[in-house]
Amino acid sequence: MRKTQLIFYVIALIGIIPSVKAQITGGGVTPVGTTVDDDRNVITTAMPFLLISPDSRSAGMGDAGVALSPDANAMQWNAARLAFVENEIGASVSYSPWLTKIGVNDMSISYLSGYYRIGQEQVIGLSMKYFDLGSIFFTDTGVQGDGLEASPKDFSIAAAYSRKLSDNFSAALTARFVRSNLFGDYQGSNLEDPKPATAIGVDVGLFYTKPVLFNGNESEFSSGLQISNISNKVTYSNDDNEQFLPINLRLGTAFTTALDPYNTLTFTVDLNKLMVPTPDPNDTSSSNITLLEGMFGSFGDAPGGAQEELREISIASGVEYWYNKIFAVRTGYFYEHVSKGGRQYFTAGLGFRYQVLGLDFSYLIPTKQQNPLAETLRFTATFSLENINRSGSDSVTE
């Protein structure tokens, strides 16, 4: 695929955060989160692909997942869920073509994840996310022709340790390595010594689940918390303009109830808040903010005060129906205030399970026309093995 302007990468970013603005000048491409029309003040970060929903189950439920029942994709949403996984070993592979609505045919997101139980209370997890931005042609100002072809790629590798702390409560710690190479081998004059950005970060997760009775039916209430991508700041050049990764606070709850022996319903809601500085057009010193200052200051640094801080909270909600643990139907809704990006869309999904194998599919339906994320598809295949009885003595619940 041929793209003759650097601006196409900006379109790729718009696919992740639709209202991100970018300015293209003689100095290169600079993401901007300044206040413009409609009181927009979008928070921008490096490596936003880390927050893209990779798997079809959560993607079909409005991108909610911090408190769902555990599965092989828990690494993305809350690794603490893994401590309550029923099976001994499991794996999942997901794939999503990206920005196909606007005619892109060589961009995609791939995700591989899995877990292994190492004790009655302990589970380890691994995951890898790969974002292929296809081929891009970079051109310098005033240069004729297509320019230099590059193949930008982002990827992350993560390992997690999840442990039960009681019959109903678990915690997890995830370590992650991230590398983002936005400019490939491009060395043009539009950029000051471009280079790949790398980061090492951690996630922290908590998960609580408890069986309850609802109208006489067996049910389960769960809640979760995850802070993800706590990491060093990064830069794509040799200058001092370092950017935060998308450090994200996710809080959520889920309720599952059995209508009868064959039919089960799950309702879930997540709240998300980026723990990075809000852009202030009147303050040019934001690039000097340290990691901890940015994280803890993010709850009170919005130029618009408390009202703007509340607008920074996005809502993900979804419903999942299972018939006989074989066939699932999912739907959901994601809401983000227009001044903070304006992502608002419905989702739908299907799931099938047969013995140790599973297949899932999701589809995104935007609430507004001309959304580059429209009709985004995700496909997921899962594999799991049943429990192997362990007689270990490391249980904290006995």
Q: What is the mean pLDDT of residues 211-218?
A: 89
Q: What is the pTM of this model?
A: 0.86
Q: What is the mean pLDDT of residues 211-235?
A: 94
> Can you read off the two tokens belonging to residue 375?
């009709």
Q: What is the DSSP code (8-state) at residue 39? A: G
Q: What is the mean pLDDT of residues 167-178?
A: 98
Q: Which residues contact 101 (CB under 8 A, 6 or more apart)?
A: 371, 372, 373, 374, 375, 376
The answer as to whether 396 is a domain residue is no
The answer as to whether 251 is a domain residue is yes
The answer as to whether 210 is a domain residue is yes
pLDDT at 337 > cutoff 80: yes
pLDDT at 309: 94
More confident call, 337 vs 215: 337
Q: State what percent of residues in the chain have pLDDT above 90.
A: 65
pLDDT at 220 > cutoff 60: yes
Sign of the C-alpha dihedral, residues 177, 29, 371, 109?
Answer: negative
| DSSP one-letter string for 160-187 | EEEEESSSSEEEEEEEEEEEEESSTT--
3-class DSSP state of 343 = coil
pLDDT at 103: 80
Q: What is the mean pLDDT of residues 108-129?
A: 96
pLDDT tier at 369, thresholds 50, 70, 90: confident
| DSSP one-letter string for 206-257 | EEEEEEEEETTEEEEEEEEEEEEEEE--B-SSSSS--B----EEEEEEEEEE
Longest CA span, the chain: 73
pLDDT at 345 > cutoff 60: yes
Q: What is the mean pLDDT of residues 180-191?
A: 67
| DSSP one-letter string for 251-304 | EEEEEEEESSSSEEEEEEEEEEEE-SPPP-TT-S-GGG--HHHHHHHTTS--TT
The answer as to whether 1 is a domain residue is no
pLDDT tier at 282, thresholds 50, 70, 90: confident
pLDDT at 36 > cutoff 60: no
Say if CB 376 and CB 364 are below 8 A apart: yes
3-class DSSP state of 381 = strand
pLDDT at 181 > cutoff 80: yes
Q: What is the mean pLDDT of residues 208-212?
A: 96
The answer as to whether 395 is a domain residue is no
pLDDT digits (tens, 9 = 90+) for 121-141: 999 999 999 999 888 776 655
pLDDT at 332: 98
pLDDT at 16: 46
Helix (H) or strand (E) holding 309: helix 305-311
pLDDT at 302 > cutoff 80: yes
Could you tell me the CATH number of the domain that includes residue 17? Answer: 2.40.160.40
Residue type, 156: S
pLDDT at 285: 61
Q: What is the DSSP code (8-state) at residue 151? A: -
pLDDT at 22 > cutoff 50: no
pLDDT tier at 40, thresholds 50, 70, 90: confident
Boundaries of domain holding 172: 7-385
pLDDT at 144 > cutoff 80: no
pLDDT digits (tens, 9 = 90+) for 85-97: 999 999 999 999 9
Domain count, the chain: 1
The answer as to whether 397 is a domain residue is no
Q: Which residues contact 47 (CB under 8 A, 6 or more apart)?
A: 154, 178, 180, 197, 199, 229, 234, 245, 246
Residue 397 to residue 89: CA distance in whole angstroms: 21
Q: Which residues of 368-388 are buried (b: 16+ CB within 10 A; e: fewer)?
A: eeebbbbebebebebebeeee
pLDDT tier at 163, thresholds 50, 70, 90: very high
pLDDT at 183: 75
pLDDT at 152 > cutoff 80: yes
Average pLDDT, the chain: 85
pLDDT at 39: 76
> Can you read off the two tokens belonging to residue 379?
């496909």
The answer as to whether 166 is a domain residue is yes
Say if CB 207 and CB 67 are below 8 A apart: yes
The answer as to whether 101 is a domain residue is yes
Q: What is the mean pLDDT of residues 23-32?
A: 30
pLDDT at 385: 85
Q: State what percent of residues in the chain have pLDDT above 70.
A: 81
pLDDT at 111 > cutoff 90: yes
Say if CB 235 and CB 243 are below 8 A apart: yes
pLDDT tier at 191, thresholds 50, 70, 90: low
More confident call, 199 vs 31: 199
